[in-house]
Structure 1
Amino acid sequence: MLIPALDLIDGRVVRLYQGDFNQKTEYPLDPLAQAQSYQAAGAEWLHLVDLDGAKNPDKRQQALLKRITQESGLRCQAGGGIRTQQDLDDLFAAGIERVVIGSTAVNNADLVRHWFAEYGTDAIVLALDVNIADDGRAMVATHGWQESSSLTLDDVLNRYLEVGCRHVLCTDISKDGTLTGTNVELYQRYKALYPNIQWQASGGVSNLQDLIDLKQVNCDSVILGKSLLTGQFELAEAIKCWQNA
């Protein structure tokens, strides 16, 4: 499916270029109204990134997240600085159905594996952001892409298969926010290697052909952020394209 995304700072819709807070674009949109417009266009899910919460969990935009889940008509997944069990509980209390976990999943696998057992495999999305090395390996980055790990995407995935990992949001960092096309080969490779995982592609989608290309390599879902905010295409036409691809 296609999943529209909203990144939020202080109640405002923003986009960061390749995760850089110093390269921020703010859009004059009301987050709830924008979410409702996506629901009207045919979306079923919404991806929310609480960038305030990513910097400081005490600043999590809890009230806004709850309002969006209650009034948008969309099922929501959300992330941003998930470090403790209380962070998960707060998001679930706000009506979030799936919590998106990034750096903590890389750096504290035992804890996150426990959360899979505690909350169930459908309640957690692993957000694994990668840099493609010269030898083609997908190397996982953490902490808003400011730090690189020594782990490949395969290394991290293999820690979670036995606890039933089902949802992975994978971003090619070099593509994020660039509108330069998506890394189709990455998702084709990993869907073939890990067919039981529901893959969410993220980064670089700029036109409808990008969606067709991803659908044709059996990618399960695509996150749409900047492409919708900048009017590269309308969500309704994108959904129709995806369904017919």
Structure 2
Amino acid sequence: MGFEVIPAVDVFDGRLARLSDGGVAFVEAFDGDPTTAARSFVEAGARWIHVVDMDLALGGEFRNLDVVAGIAGLGVSVQASGGITGHREVERALASGAGRVVLASSALSYRAAVEALLARHGDALAVGIESDRDMIRGRARQEVGLPLLETMAWLAGLDVDRYVHTSVSRVGGLEGPDLDAIGAVIDVTGRPVVASGGIRGPEDLRRVAAIGAHGAILGRALYEGLDLRDALAAVA
């Protein structure tokens, strides 16, 4: 399998949104409709869509499982994310049509629970690593207080199918990917790593692929003019 380019669809209260310095900002592209955005990405060639339930990520409840189901109904694989930490949340996401669920970094303080989740859900579960410098951060950019490399060394001893690494300081800023952090996670785990945060376009995708990442998640760039077809062609 080649390098995966995965468009992100972040959803708050049923609408396209993103985190900003002032909190949640709604996105006007695609008329603010998550399914319309996903349909456009599927038509451009996307095989996976990364759906973030921002309501859950910000400490609330799952409010957008209908969006997961609707996007899965387009015939594309859905990777569900956004503050998912327990069995019930994982099972609800899978039951709604997600093909893969990303376990939030905030779960990593509870090692026995993480090990149980991995044993139960296997390759349907990816582990999210949200980091800033040498620390792991949790949902909505809150500090978890876990050292990055030490935690990764523990995870490397488990049967983790893949990781989704997010450079917190780069999210939504279009400042380019944190190649050092991505490379460190790849080196420690030896497992497929999908990178997220700061990716602007084709050149950034080529750089991420060159250091050995399995794929990359594209967010804000796609809503501000980047054509997904160009992104896919860059790493074909």
d(CA) in 2 for partners of 1:47, 1:188: 22
How many Å apart are 1:95 and its aligned residue? Answer: 0.9
d(CA) in 1 for partners of 2:159, 2:102: 15
Change (3 A) 1:21 1:59: farther
Partner of 1:29: 32
Change (3 A) 1:148 1:118: closer
1:165 aligns with 2:160: yes
Question: 2:140 aligns to what SS in structure 1?
Answer: coil
CA contact (8 A) 2:17 2:24 kept: no
CA contact (8 A) 1:15 1:25 kept: yes
Unaligned runs of 5+ in 2: none
Partner of 1:239: 232
The two structures have a TM-score, normalised by structure 2, of: 0.91
d(CA) in 2 for partners of 1:111, 1:192: 25
Correspondences of 1:87-102 after superposition (within 5 Å): 87-102=89-104
1:68 aligns with 2:71: yes
Question: 1:144 aligns to what SS in structure 2?
Answer: helix
2:177 pairs, out of 151, 174, 182, with 182
Partner of 2:200: 206
Aligned residues: CA RMSD: 1.7
Q: Which amino acid aligns with 1:61?
A: N
2:149 pairs, out of 154, 167, 176, with 154
Question: 2:32 aligns to what SS in structure 1?
Answer: coil
The two structures have a TM-score, normalised by structure 1, of: 0.88
Correspondences of 1:52-63 after superposition (within 5 Å): 52-56=55-59, 58-63=61-66
Partner of 2:129: 128
CA contact (8 A) 2:167 2:196 kept: yes
Partner of 1:224: 218
How many Å apart are 1:57 and its aligned residue? Answer: 5.2
1:142 pairs, out of 135, 138, 141, with 138
Identical counterparts, % of pairs: 29
CA contact (8 A) 2:172 2:220 kept: yes
d(CA) in 1 for partners of 2:196, 2:132: 13
Q: Which amino acid aligns with 1:78?
A: A
How many Å apart are 1:237 and its aligned residue? Answer: 1.0
Change (3 A) 1:228 1:49: same
CA contact (8 A) 1:8 1:14 kept: yes
Unaligned runs of 5+ in 1: 133-137
Partner of 2:81: 79
CA contact (8 A) 1:13 1:26 kept: yes
d(CA) in 2 for partners of 1:82, 1:218: 27
d(CA) in 1 for partners of 2:194, 2:111: 21
CA contact (8 A) 1:105 1:112 kept: yes
Q: What whole-Å deviation, never above 9, does each CA across 1:177-230 have from its counterpart, x for those lacking one?
A: 1011111222233323332x1111111111321111111111111000001011
d(CA) in 1 for partners of 2:23, 2:189: 36
d(CA) in 2 for partners of 1:162, 1:114: 14
Matched residue count: 231
CA contact (8 A) 1:101 1:126 kept: yes
d(CA) in 1 for partners of 2:220, 2:106: 26
